[in-house]
């Protein structure tokens, strides 16, 4: 059984960790109108649309983001994003770490495990001489790019920050990446302008906007430095903010397309840790004298255990008092999402999406159904002979943080957006051939991956 699971792990690891090839566009197949539509492409929003994955924003994956892929298909000239130097900036940067990496598919220090025991670690700034205070970007060319970036999405912002926030301290979200993406404190024509204001200066031809997910995620996720006790944005406030944002986007005279919000509770971040004690030798549930799994202390029926709970469990939290390494303390509430809290998440997600549909319908703005697409992934999606799911690591769609899509996930998302763009704006931009992105996946041990 362990061998079969390791093979699946190997496939999934290659899918989202290998450097995927760029789509091959041998010669232009676009009409003049299609080229004009994509000529000044701009993206606005929060986490996923920025290219954030595996807990960081970093050039390697920004170049594989669905926005970058759409720009390639649309032949957007001089496409530029705020490329962040390696190992990137994200949720672990306060402690001097960047992107998450998979060290082992199965921990060699636990050879008796029945189920594979992956080892994930965060890349340290010090290992790469990376000092974001001195230079966060991958190069001075990126930092001093003479035009606004094509992708002005900022991870960790709320919907109103897109058109209101000029600096981090005056934003509602206090996102650590806001000043970086907006290029504060550089003088004109760079910093101290909102993401929308910079986009407007660019005189965009097409605006992709995907905002609102972090307004929900910030409430449901664990945060060691900025915990959110209540949903930061009510359904009523979201409707007002989103309406104002859409009016702002329409005022640019650009073509506009937006996406709705996925059900974050389908993401592996909320499902990768079971609510029972795991035997550290076999990596299977520990059983009591009656052969039943032993529940973690502090966990109740229906609770979802968040991915960061793994760290606390290793420190002895949640383990019964008679277990080795137990510290006698229950699992902290901050890494548990109760049924009541899950109901809040579902309610505000439904409310936000209803507002998006209504507001966009009145303004003739097309909506890409990312809620429905992420549900398809959660149910298992057949792609190029592979089954892509929402499973952690083995599913292939999500990166190592369990929330943000992998490189492969971005390819699939790009095609959903392209299909919606083609349908609404009556163009025929080619979709991405997924197999073009798998050409570098070759032999891994004795396994041929195609």
User: Is the pLDDT higher at 206 or at 444?
Assistant: 206
Residues 6+ apart with CB under 8 A from 203: 40, 252
Pairing status of strand 97-104 against strand 119-124: antiparallel
Q: Measured between alpha carbons, how far is 383 from 422 in angstroms, rounded to an integer? A: 21
Instruction: Tell me if 355 sits within 8 A of 238, measured CB to CB.
Output: yes
Domains with residue ranges and CATH for the chain: 2-448 (3.40.50.1110)
Confidence of residue 115 (pLDDT cuts 50, 70, 90): confident
What's the whole-model pTM score? 0.92
Question: Is residue 19 pLDDT above 50, yes or no?
Answer: no
User: Is the pLDDT higher at 401 or at 190?
Assistant: 401
- Mean pLDDT across the stretch 375-381? 97
Q: Measured between alpha carbons, how far is 132 from 110 in angstroms, rounded to an integer? A: 36
CA distances from 309 to 68, 84, 272, 299, 317 (A): 34, 29, 10, 11, 9
pLDDT tens per residue across span 51-72: 999 999 999 999 999 999 999 9
| Cα angle: 84, vertex 85, 86; to 5 degrees | 120
Question: Is residue 139 pLDDT above 50, yes or no?
Answer: yes
Six token digits for residue 280: 């550290």
Residue 5: its pLDDT value, please?
Answer: 43
Instruction: Tell me if 83 sits within 8 A of 62, measured CB to CB.
Output: yes
Residues 6+ apart with CB under 8 A from 148: 42, 189, 198, 199, 201, 202
Q: Which residues pair with 102 in a beta bridge?
A: 120
Place of tokens 């996946």: 441
Q: Measured between alpha carbons, how far is 114 from 333 in angstroms, rounded to an integer? A: 30
- Mean pLDDT across the stretch 256-281? 97
Confidence of residue 439 (pLDDT cuts 50, 70, 90): low
Picking from 67-71, 77-81, 188-192, 193-197, which range would have the lowest pLDDT averaged per residue? 188-192
DSSP state of 449: -
- Would you list the DSSP string of 209-270? EE-SHHHHHHHHS--SSS--SS-SS-HHHHHHHHHHHHHHHHTTT-EEEEE----GGGSGGG
Residue 6: its pLDDT value, please?
Answer: 44
pLDDT tens per residue across span 307-327: 999 999 999 999 999 998 999
Question: Is residue 47 pLDDT above 70, yes or no?
Answer: yes
When the pLDDT of each residue in the chain is averaged and rounded to a whole number, the result is: 91
């Amino acid at each position: 059984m362990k061998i079969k699971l390791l093979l699946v792990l190997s496939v999934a690891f290659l899918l989202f960790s290998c450097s995927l090839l760029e789509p091959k566009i041998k010669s232009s197949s676009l009409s003049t109108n299609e080229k004009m539509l994509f000529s000044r492409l701009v993206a606005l929003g929060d986490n996923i649309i920025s290219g954030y994955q595996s807990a960081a924003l970093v050039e390697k994956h920004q170049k594989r983001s669905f926005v970058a892929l759409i720009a390639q298909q649309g032949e957007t000239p001089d496409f530029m994003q705020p490329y962040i130097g390696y190992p990137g900036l994200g949720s672990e940067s306060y402690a001097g770490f960047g992107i998450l990496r998979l060290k082992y598919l199965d921990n060699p220090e636990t050879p008796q495990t029945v189920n594979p025991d992956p080892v994930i670690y965060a890349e340290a700034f010090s290992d790469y001489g990376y000092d974001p205070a001195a230079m966060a970007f991958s190069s001075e060319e990126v930092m001093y790019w003479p035009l606004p970036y094509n992708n002005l999405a900022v991870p960790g912002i709320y919907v109103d920050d897109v058109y209101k926030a000029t600096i981090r301290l005056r934003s509602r979200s206090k996102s650590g990446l806001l000043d970086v993406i907006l290029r504060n404190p550089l003088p004109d024509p760079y910093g101290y302008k909102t993401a929308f204001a910079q986009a407007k200066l660019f005189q965009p031809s097409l605006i992709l906007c995907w905002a609102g997910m972090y307004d929900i995620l910030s409430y449901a996720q664990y945060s060691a430095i900025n915990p959110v006790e209540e949903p930061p944005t009510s359904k009523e406030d979201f409707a007002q903010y989103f309406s104002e944002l859409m009016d702002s986007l329409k005022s640019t005279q650009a073509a506009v397309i937006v996406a709705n919000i996925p059900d974050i509770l389908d993401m592996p971040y909320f499902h990768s840790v079971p609510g029972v004690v795991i035997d550290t030798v076999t990596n299977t549930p520990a059983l009591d004298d009656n052969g039943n799994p032993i529940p973690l202390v502090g966990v109740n029926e229906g609770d979802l255990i968040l991915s960061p709970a793994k760290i606390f469990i290793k420190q002895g939290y949640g383990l019964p008092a008679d277990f080795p390494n137990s510290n006698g303390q229950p699992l902290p509430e901050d890494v548990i999402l109760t049924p009541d809290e899950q109901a809040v998440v579902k309610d505000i997600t439904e409310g936000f999406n209803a507002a998006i549909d209504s507001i966009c319908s009145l303004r003739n703005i097309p909506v890409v159904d990312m809620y429905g697409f992420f549900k398809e992934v959660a149910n298992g999606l057949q792609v190029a002979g592979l089954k892509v799911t929402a499973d952690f690591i083995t599913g292939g769609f999500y990166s190592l943080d369990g929330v943000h899509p992998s490189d492969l996930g971005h390819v699939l998302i790009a095609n959903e957006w392209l299909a919606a763009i083609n349908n609404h704006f009556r163009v025929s931009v080619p979709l991405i051939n997924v197999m073009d992105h798998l050409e570098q996946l070759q032999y891994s041990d004795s396994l041929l991956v195609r």
